[in-house]
């Protein structure tokens, strides 16, 4: 929440310093700036309203956890999936990401795209490609 609020304040300050005094901070939306920079509306939506933020009980035997970081930019993503043992399918997913808007949006999209997918060699990545590309 703080990142979004700071971004909105920064966008408003940039508009004012550019001489656009008719636009107030409330009128300048993050979506408009994202559109000018070429972000897809789905990316902006998942950044502004991330889905499945949170964490599962780490002691749950049906939960798998992955942690990845990008030292170059400082992003850290912790993603978890809950798998139904009988069907071998992902039944739920969640994440906690500390990083840029793209990292937050991709984590949100990833948790949604993987739901219902059967685990197997490459199965998750192929299903994500079919749903989102």
Highest mean pLDDT among 17-21, 90-94, 117-121: 90-94
Residues 81 and 31 in one domain: no
pLDDT tens profile 86-109: 988 899 999 999 988 888 998 998
Residues 112 and 77 in one domain: yes
Residue 48 domain-assigned (yes or no):
no
Q: CA 61, CA 100: separation in Å to the nearest integer?
A: 31
Q: CA 113, CA 95: separation in Å to the nearest integer?
A: 13
42 versus 30: which is more confidently predicted?
42
As given in the structure block, the two tokens for residue 103 are 């990292």
Q: At what angle do helices 41-48 and 101-114 cross, to 10 degrees?
A: 90
What pTM does this model have? 0.63
Q: Indicate which CATH number applies to the domain containing 109.
A: 3.90.1010.10
94 versus 14: which is more confidently predicted?
94
Which residue, 97, 94, 107, 14, is CA-closest to 58?
A: 94
Which of 76-85, 94-103, 123-132 bottoms out in mean pLDDT, i.e. has the lowest?
A: 123-132
Residue 106 domain-assigned (yes or no):
yes
**How many domains, in total, are found in the chain?**
2
**Whole domain around residue 17: which residue ranges?**
2-38
Residue 110 domain-assigned (yes or no):
yes
* Helix H or strand E encompassing 70: strand 63-70
């Amino acid at each position: 929440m703080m990142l979004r609020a700071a971004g909105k304040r920064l966008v408003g300050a940039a508009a004012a310093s550019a001489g656009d005094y008719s636009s107030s901070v409330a009128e300048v939306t993050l979506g408009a700036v994202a559109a000018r920079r070429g972000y897809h509306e789905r990316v902006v939506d998942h950044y502004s309203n991330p889905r499945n933020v949170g964490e599962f009980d780490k002691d749950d035997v049906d939960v798998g956890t992955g942690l990845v970081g990008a030292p170059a930019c400082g992003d850290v993503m912790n993603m978890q999936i809950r798998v139904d043992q009988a069907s071998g399918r992902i039944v739920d997913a969640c994440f906690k990401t500390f990083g840029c808007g793209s990292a937050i949006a991709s984590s949100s999209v990833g948790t949604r795209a993987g739901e219902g997918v059967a685990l197997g060699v490459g199965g998750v990545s192929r299903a994500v490609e079919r749903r989102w590309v």
